[in-house]
Structure 1
Amino acid sequence: MKTFFLSMAGAFAAMFVFILLVVSFFVILIVGATNSAPPAPDRIVLSLDLNMELPDQSPVGGLAAFSQTPGFIDLLTKLKAAEADDAVKGLYLRGAMIGVGSARAEELRQAFHSFRDSGKFIIAHTQGTYGMSGPSALRSLTAADEIWIQPGTDLFATGVTFETEFLAGLFEKIDVRSEIYPFYEYKNAPNSYNETAYTEPHREAMTALADSIWDVSLSDIADDRGLSVESVRSALESGPKSAQEVIDLKIMDKLGWPEEAEDAAKERAGEDAELVELATYMPPTISLKAPLIAVVGGEGPIVTGGAEGGSPFSSPPAFASDAIARAILDAGDNDKVKAIVFRVDSPGGSPTASDQIWRAIKRVQEKGKPVVVSMGSVAASGGYYVSAGADYIMADRSTITGSIGIFGGKFALEGAFNKIGVTFDTVSVGGEFADAYGTGTFTQAQEAEVKAWLKRGYDRFLGIVGEGRGMTYDEVHEVARGRVWSGEDAIEKGLVDEIGGFMDAIDKAKELGGIDADVTPRLTFYPRRKSGFEALESLFGVSEETARVAYMLGTVANDDRMQVLIEDLARADAVNSGQMLAVGPRLREH
């Protein structure tokens, strides 16, 4: 009875919210009809606060879709469009207090250079202290014409550190046996379960990756500021610097407060200039007759199935194979679409799901529709799997990619349960493998079968990469074996065609799709982005009690270290249920 009343209360609450929103909507329409819209400013200074936490791509479900949360790639496209808007004079940039991620900093830097090359200015302001966030926060600012730093603050732009948690010591204490087998020695994700510290191959790969990201970061900062790489290295590797020291070293230009830098930007733009947030800026419209390029976005872990379900207070899986494969096929069926840009930002996931998405790409290519992959911050393991068949692959120098390999197995939990007095007995028919995924350890025959199954999966992965990249099995195996590479190194290994960001991928899609270089295409997004009120539909039928639980879980999940544990549990559950995984190592850069 209590559940009934709670459900009824939730239904009435949802109905009340819906009525309130509908009434508000019509009030807005009436007010809008009786009041003329204010004229667009003649002089605009766009503003961008890098402290905003944005997904790579705009969410297609949940409250985030209802609120029309923009994605990172939306900011890039708006900034590019603003280059041709005569009303836009410049950009006021607020620096991030923590890192924005190295690949994202690289794409921002490229966008800022293009914006400046169009004849517009950028004034940046930072409040200095970046803590242990690495070089990305600084790297995202140095392309500005002028950088202000708040008095009394410090710059703390350290090197690159990757931190990995290891659970083998815990498993030993509680008598859990990790029987998870990686293919091959560089497949580092299961090391969290199998080891107490880095193996030599694991350390080798992580060190090479950190060196690559640090070197390209120093090079970019030095180029932007007209300094030598060695002088920047010396300054940043010697610890925190006061605001005045930063200016003396010519890493930044002026001391000042945020409002002073903002005023300087508006003054430079001219009389009556107004500040407009980049996220809300509406660029000039593109002709409906312009050729179409489809953008298909996949972000997060790659999973089988669709994108529906789950809590409406959180975004649905953004890399669900049914949804992404269907998006690619739908884009391929649209005769007006000249080419597809597939934006991949994923550490990997299910090989089965990755296979489904790979096949969808092959099908649209068979219809003569070119596919260009734009890799975001990470496109590793399954994220590389879904990319391998594209006509062209682009990555940032700081993108984490490769990790061509798989793992699988299980956790033998019988010993842990025995410690607390729980015992198991088994009746099993159907062959020796029938009880392989029970609580006990694998028999020798079961272990051999699991490894043979994983080897078949690894060989298929390599075959797909070899076909897509024009390489032999042995050539792929040499750069695979589960190893991650930076985009900079992946170029040399033949895994990527060109260094470039999302806007470069659009240009390449124009070329492959036969669109003239001087023509601006329209972008159409797949899966289709829902309007705010379409996204609201997913809220109906949710009880008040469910909403509270979902909200609390969402708050907990936002904690970085809690997120690590949640991901560990999700991977462990998948492996323990007999799934093969193509997942790269979790990298927390700081």
Structure 2
Amino acid sequence: MKTFFLSMAGAFVAMILFIVLFFFGLIFLAVSAASSKPPRPSNVVLSLDLNAALPDQAPTAGFAAFSGVPGFTDLLLKIQAAESDDTVKGIYLRGSLTGIGSSRSEELRDALKNFRAAGKFVVAHTQGMIALGGPSAYYSISAADEIWMQPGTDLMISGVTFETEFLKGLFDKIGLTPQIYALYEYKNAPNSYNETGYTPAHREALETLATSMWETALADIAEDRGMQPAQLRSLLESGPKPAEKAEKLKLVDKLGWPEDAEDAVLERAGERSELVDLMSYTPPPSKAKAKDGMIAIVGGEGAVVTGGNSSDSLFSEPPAFASDIVARAILDAAENDNVKAIVFRVDSPGGSPTASDQIWRAVKRAQEKGKPVVVSMGSLAASGGYYVSAGADAILANRTTITGSIGIFGGKFALDGTFNKIGITFDAVTVGGDFTNAYGIGKFNQAQEAEIRAWLKRGYDRFVGIVGEGREMSYDEVHEIARGRVWSGEQAKARGLVDEIGGFTSAIRKAQELAGMDTSKAPLITHYPHRKSGFEALESLFGVSAETARAAAVLSAIAGDERTQAILEELAAAEAMNSGQAMAVGPRIRER
């Protein structure tokens, strides 16, 4: 028996030792990778592959946070910071095959134009485009001062298309009855269940939205390529163009392979130039001080939902637009005396009215503490995405942002007919009033339907009232442009739903302005919720304390003195990130 317990104890100790060594091994590998960074190059060309899928905002939890996945908004800030980095000479873009979305293309284009205005170059290379849903593949690189295209490929750019599936025919066949009611005629999400095709209002809204987005893209691309919009429209709407013809028509500037374009940009940047991935590039530390005032960034992406689990897991992440998390982030930012204003980045199709209400109230509380709130709309800020934005001091959107959809819908699917077809029947005993079984498997009765419609009307009226208060409009004025209708950012501005056309960096400048800060200087940025460093993410995922991780990093550095300085710089950079400061240039990709 004694031998048995000794063996068990030995196995337990060995297991613990293995786990500890495993985690320290992970830390050592991470530190070793960090310490192998070369000296800061004198000539840098930032590279960005637009085929890479990115969230709008960087993840704040889970394995994605540990791995340091940036958000699209982070790239915009990096490009802006690179304008004043003397080591950065240009940007090399790898064009997307299918597109990155009109709003992102517009926002990226503005960033690239500002970058070029700082005296730097932008070169793009595309391996062809098969963009059948819109012009964003071309739109996203049109601001480059030189576009290369791979020989033997095609440029296929179409107008804007919205395609909707309708399930009513299927539901009729299987006996399913959708009882989903919308306020009002333009709130078109339930049409997928209630109709077999577009209603006149649904078609009208989508046609005007698509026209606005297409004409905006045509005007911008035509300006970039030195053409008239009508001329460009004719070229793009006439079908695919092989690379050789695209060059002849001046839709691209040169034909060549990716390696040819890379060689060209490195030669243009000068001797000993390097390609550095924009995703890993970090500018020199900001000279701004927290005591001079900071701008807090709070983000919400995806469906707006109630609650929110803030605990970390290796394979799962909390919802990115959970009301508890986002509302708490706004309130925490408002409590920080160094924070002078909040930029609330919204990229959402909507969701729970209750969750939206909670976030809207957090915005109001921040304002009550004297903190201006500026909303930056991403690709989509509709329905609940507009609800959470409505009370802001200023709302900025791209011209091709999809917003509005001020409306509400609700109801259920009555499934009794479907089950009856296969011989299943239902009966019920209900105690507690007629509405008790309203959400049972059968259809609403007349009284229940009336209650549901009254409930939806109260929700709609509150939504319209929230918008009216925030936009200083009457109920009737809001109702006229609401009724569930979607608008482009440009259309929304014309109707008073948006204050200014502009992207994320423009929203930061607007926040500085409202806070009385010097807009000629880049502010110190801090993110809420707190963005974990690699060490802190390791602690959350595996239970290793950040202090232990840092200690392990220093111990591992003793193995090689030549690495020590690089490791200490990495640790300092992690701390700088937490305080809102920028870091130094990231790892090398290719050298010339």
Identity %: 66
Task: Report the alpha carbon displacement of residue 196 of structure 1 after superposing the two structures with TM.
Answer: 1.2
C-alpha distance in 2 between matches for 1:265 and 1:237: 32
- Counterpart for residue 196 of structure 1: 196
Opposite residue 291 of structure 1, the aligned amino acid is G
After TM superposition, give the deviation of residue 163 of structure 1 in Å: 1.1
Cα displacement string for residues 270-327 of structure 1 (whole angstroms, at most 9, x for unaligned residues): 0110110001111011135152100000000000001436964243200000000000
2:476 aligned partner, one-letter code:
D
Alpha carbons of structure 1 residues 251 and 314: separation in structure 2 relative to 1, 3 Å: farther
Offset from partner CA, 1:57-91 (integer Å, 9 cap, x none)? 00112221121100000000000000000000001
Mapped contact 1:95–1:141 kept (Cα < 8 A): yes
Give the match for residue 516 of structure 1: 518
Which secondary structure state, in structure 1, belongs to the residue aligned with residue 435 of structure 2? Answer: helix
Amino acid at match of 2:53: E
| Deviations 1:541-564, CA, capped at 9 Å, x for gaps | 9xxxxxxxxxxxxxxxxxxxxxxx
Task: Give the secondary structure class of the aligned counterpart of 1:114.
Answer: helix
Q: Which has the larger radius of gyration?
A: 2
Aligned length: 528
Local SS of the residue matching 2:129? coil
- 1:24 Cα deviation after fit: 3.4
Q: Does 1:150 align with 2:150?
A: yes
Q: Which residue of 2 aligns with 1:469?
A: 471
Instruction: Determine the C-alpha separation between the residues in 1 that align with 2:126 and 2:376.
Output: 30
Q: Is the 8 A contact 1:372 1:394 kept in 2?
A: yes
Cα separation, 2, equivalents of 1:493 and 1:247: 41
**Cα distance change on mapping 1:206 and 1:29 into 2, 3 Å:** closer
CA distance in 1, matches of 2:75, 2:259: 23
Q: 1:453 to 1:239 in 2, by over 3 A?
A: same
Change (3 A) 1:30 1:160: closer
Question: In the TM superposition, what whole-angstrom CA distance separates every residue of 1:347-383 from its partner, at most 9, and x where no partner exists?
Answer: 0000000000000000010111000000000000000
Counterparts of 2:398 and 2:287, CA distance in 1: 31
Change (3 A) 1:282 1:433: same
Residue 581 of structure 2 is matched in structure 1 by none
Q: 1:382 to 1:154 in 2, by over 3 A?
A: same
Instruction: Please name the residue that 2:351 is paired with.
Output: 349
Per-residue deviation, residues 184-224 of structure 1 (Å, max 9, x unmatched): 00001111111111111101101111111100010011000
Give the superposition deviation at 1:527.
Answer: 1.1
Structure 1 residues 201, 332: closer, same or farther in 2, change over 3 A?
Answer: same
Contact 1:156 1:240 in 2 (8 A): yes
Equivalent pair of 1:62/1:536 in contact (CA under 8 Å): no
CA 1:253–1:538 in 2, change beyond 3 Å: closer, same or farther?
Answer: same
Shift of 1:423: 1.4
What TM-score results when the alignment is normalised by the length of structure 1? 0.87
Whether contact under 8 Å (2:63, 2:313) holds in the other structure is: no
Alignment partner, residue 555 of structure 1 = none
Aligned to 2:274: 274
Matched residue, 1:236: 236
Pairs within 5 Å for 1:101-250: 101-250=101-250
Question: Quick one: structure 1 residues 27 and 249, their matched pair in 2 at CA, closer, same or farther if it must change by over 3 Å?
Answer: closer
**In structure 2, do the counterparts of structure 1 residues 337 and 230 end up closer, same or farther at CA, with 3 Å as the change threshold?**
same
Q: Does 1:46 align with 2:59?
A: no
The alignment's TM-score, normalised by the length of structure 2, stands at: 0.86
What is the identity, as a one-letter code, of the residue corresponding to 1:523? I
For residues 363-382 of structure 1, the aligned pairs below 5 Å read: 363-382=365-384
Contact 1:295 1:523 in 2 (8 A): yes
Counterpart secondary structure, 1:119: coil
Aligned partners of 1:14 and 1:539 also within 8 Å: no
1:439 to 422, 434, 441: 441
Aligned position for 2:580: none
Query: Any conservation in 2 of the 1:185–1:481 contact (CA below 8 Å)?
Result: yes
Decide whether the 8 Å contact of 2:312 with 2:540 is kept in 1. no
Aligned-partner SS, 2:298: strand
Cα RMSD for the two superposed structures: 1.9
Distance 1:15 1:252, change over 3 A: farther
Q: Which residue of 1 aligns with 2:90?
A: 90
Q: CA deviation at 1:13?
A: 10
Distance apart, 1:530 and its partner CA: 2.0
2:486 counterpart letter in structure 1: V
Change (3 A) 1:329 1:130: same
**Offset of 1:334 from its aligned partner?**
0.4
Cα pair distance change 1:15/1:310, threshold 3 Å: farther
Which residue pairs with 2:301 in the alignment? 299
Residue 321 (structure 1) aligns with: 323
Q: Which amino acid aligns with 2:457?
A: K
- Classify 1:453/1:294 alpha carbon distance in 2 versus 1 (closer, same or farther; 3 Å): same
Alpha-carbon distance between aligned partners in 1 of 2:311 and 2:415, rounded to the nearest angstrom: 31
- For the 8 Å contact 1:61–1:316, the answer to whether it is kept is yes
| Secondary structure of residue in 1 paired with 2:157 | coil
Contact 1:127–1:153 under 8 Å retained in 2? yes
* Pairs within 5 Å for 1:494-513: 494-513=496-515
Output the CA distance in 2 between the equivalents of 1:226 and 1:164.
Answer: 36
280-289 vs 366-375, greater mean Cα deviation = 280-289
